[in-house]
Structure 1
Amino acid sequence: MQEPFSIEFANGLTAKALHLQPNADLAATLESFELSSPRPTIAIVGGASKISEADRERLRSLFLHVLAPLAESFNAGVVDGGTDAGVMQMMGEARWKTGATFPLIGVAPVGLATLPQQTATAEDAAPLEPHHTHFLLVPGSQWGDESPWIAATASHLSRGLPSVTVLINGGEITWTDAQCSVAAKRSIVVIAGSGRTADILVAAVNGTVTDDRAPALVESGLLQAVDLEDPEKLDRVLRQILA
């Protein structure tokens, strides 16, 4: 296994990172990061660069006032896609603004993740979010290649303790993320009113199917919807799952 290396961002913060091979031992990888586990774990999946500015404004308080404080109170691990866009950017900024100390692990395809002081190697490459504490750079050169790794990282980090996926907004890759969470038998809390894929799934939970990928997810029994405008309920639901 390769040794972790340090990434230094322009804001002066540093993160540990590791390149993973296709057959990587995730348990050993997390140990090399000196992350204490098992611990309750939250996977954040959803919209990236295509979240509208209107949706972004509505979502920021969710991260700042619910998700970051909740993760801190459980000393949970948080796992997401790690790039400086959308829900991942908002998670990183919320951790920083609240002064939280929980580990925030970004999982991104090595062929698309652009490290500081590096030039993007693909047209759709994306920089890493600078408030994450750890990064797993996984095999792949397409968005979505990271999805099974996000799910597996959450499973290895929790190792029998409670874990949950929070699905917010989202595009095509979010469907893959949801399918990987269901395959891992992880509960998914879908944020109703957050837009796009999330709202399609909420409609399906409520009996209106507009996408053929939705029924199998709903039939798993692992999805529940919580309205964006009810942060108290979201906090309560997530605490019940993670307790």
Structure 2
Amino acid sequence: MPKTLASELVKHRFSNGQLAKILRVADGTDYEKALSTVGLYRPTSTLLVIGGASHMTQESQAKLIQFFNGPLATLSEKLDITVLDGGTDAGVTHMMGHARHYISGQFNLVGVAPLRRIIFPGKHQPKLLDNIDPQLTEEYDKDCPPVELEPHHTHFFLVSGYKWGSESRWLAEFSSVLAGYNPSMTLLINGGQVSLMDLKLNLELGRKVIIVAGSGRLADTVANTISGVNPDNETIQHLVKTYYPSQLSVFDLLATSLDDLRDQLSMYFNC
């Protein structure tokens, strides 16, 4: 049987100067223990960003960058919100990291990703990637190669897994545990099958989710279902029937002012 490795923490400085704490999370580690190991133990409001940016129109992408660099980053900084996402240098997590850098933000930005799906920028590979058990023989998905970590994040959790989605439960639970009794919200932007899993988990944990319509793919499908256009996906139909409007709401990225979304977020986190 493969040996069990203990959780291992390293500090890694990216080429841009950002110092990040990176924890390889051992199987069986509880959420509170993992968070406290990297110093994330005080209750804080949390905002979880799920989804992607695939097949997104140029108009939607430009509007999203405005949102990330403006209302989302500045509000997170002002209210000391901890933001969580997938941690890789792609899609909305890339936008989130660059938005923190854009405003010279100091808020915690936490990425959670499967250990076997990430690579580090540059030549330096932290020691926590050494000694991975060679008896583990499951192969990478050749159609979905590993992705670099986004270099403006402050903390990373690398959890066991070869496939995207291995991190979904950790992301959802981390956001709840870290928030405690403080406000906690999720934004769904674009996204595919893994994001549908994320959405389901977040709703089951009682979290409010804003669907960013106009960003494409899953977000638009959920928004269309809410507006009465039923997709073939029974899971989405069930989620809308169960959680709308108590936990699900829609923001139209292309038809509504970003100030309205800023006001929604500000009111929720200031409540």
TM-score range relative to shorter protein: over 0.9
- Secondary structure of the residue aligned to 1:93 is helix
| Code of the aligned partner of 2:43 | P
CA distance in 2, matches of 1:71, 1:16: 20
Question: Matched residues in 1 for 2:18 and 2:30: separation?
Answer: 27
CA distance in 2, matches of 1:237, 1:142: 34
Q: Do the aligned partners of 2:50 and 2:198 also contact (CA within 8 Å) in 1?
A: yes
Which residue of 1 is the match for residue 249 of structure 2?
224
Unaligned residue ranges in structure 2 (runs of 5+): 1-5, 130-138
Q: Against the structure 1 CA distance between its residues 204 and 53, is the aligned structure 2 distance closer, same or farther, given a 3 Å change threshold?
A: closer
Whether 1:69 aligns to 2:68 is no
Provide the aligned length of Structure 1 versus Structure 2: 242
1:177 aligns with 2:182: no
> Partner of 2:104: helix, strand, or coil?
coil
* Match status 1:140 vs 2:161: yes
The answer as to whether partners of 1:51 and 1:170 remain within 8 angstroms in 2 is no
Moved more, 109-118 or 185-194: 109-118
In structure 2, relative to structure 1, the CA distance for the partners of 1:174 and 1:36 (3 Å cut) is same
CA distance in 1, matches of 2:50, 2:264: 17
Q: How many percent identity over aligned positions?
A: 36
Q: Work out whether residues 56 and 215 of structure 2, in 8 Å CA contact, stay in contact via their aligned partners in 1.
A: no
| Aligned pair partner of 2:149 in 128, 145, 153 | 128
Aligned to 1:237: 264
CA deviation vs aligned residue, 1:191-232 (integer Å, no higher than 9, x gap): 111111111111111121113221222122311001214211
Give the alignment partner of residue 207 of structure 2, picking from 172, 186, 198.
Answer: 186
Unaligned runs of 5+ in 1: none
Q: Which is greater in Rg?
A: 2
Aligned residue in 1 for 2:86: 81
Q: Deviations over 1:109-155 (max 9, x none)?
A: 00101123368994421110000000000111101111111101101
Which of 26, 30, 35 is the equivalent residue of 1:25? 30
2:8–2:25 CA contact under 8 A, matched in 1: no
What is the rounded CA distance, in whole Å, between the counterparts of 1:37 and 1:216 in structure 2?
35
Q: Any idea what SS the aligned residue of 2:17 has?
A: coil
Which stretch has the larger CA shift, 29-38 or 200-209? Answer: 29-38
**Please, what TM-score do these two structures have when normalized by structure 2?**
0.84
